[in-house]
Amino acid sequence: MRDPRLLTVVLNWRTPDMTLRATRAVATAMSGLDGEIVVVDNDSGDGSEAALRTGVAEADWPVPVRVIQSGHNGGFGAGMNAGIRAGRADDQAPDYVYILNSDAFPAPNAVRILLDRLEGHPEAGIAGSYIHGPEGDPHITSFRFPSVASEFEGAARIGLISRVFARQRVPMDVPEATRRVDWLAGASMMMRRSVLDDVGLFDESFFLYYEETDLCRRVRAAGHEVHYVRESAVEHIGSVSTGMKTWSRVPDYWFASRWHYFETAGGRWHAAAATTAHLAGGVLHRLKQTIKRQPPADPPGFLRTLVRHDLRRLFRPGDTARPAARPQAAE
């Protein structure tokens, strides 16, 4: 019986040095496996591609590594799809596809553990890692699917409401052991290629955010499981390309992705109900913060932008899910 074939895709957006570091980490983790790595430059336009090609050419790798150019910055899902479609240089169809953020660094056994999980659990279509920060702090990367109830709970930020809707709350406490979940963050995720053939690749209508939520939803709807694998550890810096940690306002593509997710999952009026619930929760949150004489936790203008965007999408359903002008971000 042959060893399973693996294709790893690492997506770069203007972080070539960090991408090479991530590539070195995952190449080490793939040592001894039948695997190849594709590094995708997502049309960075800043010399990243040349730097990546030079870095790959000058290093010795335990597995084959090559660099490709996506040709346009279509976002995270489109960039990953470009690498998946490029396939392996040996033209052998992979049994599994592993995607890795450019600011994520797998432990030496992390990839093999995910592979063994999928090999030993045919009911699982996706397996994802335990993610931690540079100081070892655990990151929340396992979730329940968003719902109308979770929109209300997440926007309200009130203890009593969160307790009532505890089972609908999207973020899960970091699991202490391997278990099934609804969906996983895409920083370190391995997917069964036959499942991708069944449900399709990432929906490229999402520029950024909700794309892995949508993919896991489709995988679950097709009868496959999503597993959080506690033993597979990956260090992750987070938000290096997107700048999410320093947002002064939520970008348009986040609103577009959120609406598209709810609309795809349940239709336009389902998306509208989710927005109504979020608005109700947001109003309660602002009332609480006013009483406490503290500012809202959301960036300035968040609710106003949410309502304006979603009303336009509700009554002009032909509008694209992708914003007409979006910041240059890729992961």
- Would you give per-residue pLDDT tens digits along the chain (331 residues)? 899 999 999 999 999 999 999 999 999 999 999 999 999 999 999 999 999 999 999 999 999 999 999 999 999 999 999 999 999 999 999 999 999 999 999 999 999 999 999 999 999 999 999 999 999 999 999 999 999 999 999 999 999 999 999 999 999 999 999 999 999 999 999 999 999 999 999 999 999 999 999 999 999 999 999 999 999 999 999 754 444 555 578 999 999 999 999 999 999 999 999 999 999 999 999 999 999 999 999 999 999 999 999 999 999 876 554 544 344 444 4
> Within this chain, do residues 10 and 77 fall inside the same structural domain, yes or no?
yes
User: 206-231 burial, b for 16+ CB within 10 Å, e for fewer?
Assistant: bbbbbbbbbbbbbbbeeebbbbbbbe
Note the pLDDT of residue 248: 73
The length of the chain is: 331
> Within this chain, do residues 239 and 127 fall inside the same structural domain, yes or no?
yes
> Within this chain, do residues 211 and 271 fall inside the same structural domain, yes or no?
no
* CATH at residue 106: 3.90.550.10
Assess if residue 76 is contained within a domain. yes
Assess if residue 145 is contained within a domain. yes
Assess if residue 67 is contained within a domain. yes
Range of the domain at 239: 5-243
Note the pLDDT of residue 247: 57
Note the pLDDT of residue 239: 59
> Within this chain, do residues 145 and 201 fall inside the same structural domain, yes or no?
yes
Assess if residue 78 is contained within a domain. yes
Note the pLDDT of residue 249: 84
> Within this chain, do residues 193 and 153 fall inside the same structural domain, yes or no?
yes
Alpha carbon separation from 148 to 56, 59, 107, 270, 276 (Å, rounded)? 46, 50, 37, 8, 8
Assess if residue 330 is contained within a domain. no
Residue 280, H or E segment: helix 268-292
> Within this chain, do residues 136 and 77 fall inside the same structural domain, yes or no?
yes
Number of domains in the chain: 2
Note the pLDDT of residue 316: 84
Q: How many Cβ atoms sit within 10 Å of the Cβ of residue 69? A: 15
Q: What is the pTM of this model?
A: 0.93
Note the pLDDT of residue 326: 40
DSSP sequence for 68-130: EE-SS---HHHHHHHHHHH--TT-PPPSEEEEE-TTEEE-TTHHHHHHHHHHH-TTEEEEEEE
> Within this chain, do residues 70 and 180 fall inside the same structural domain, yes or no?
yes
Assess if residue 100 is contained within a domain. yes
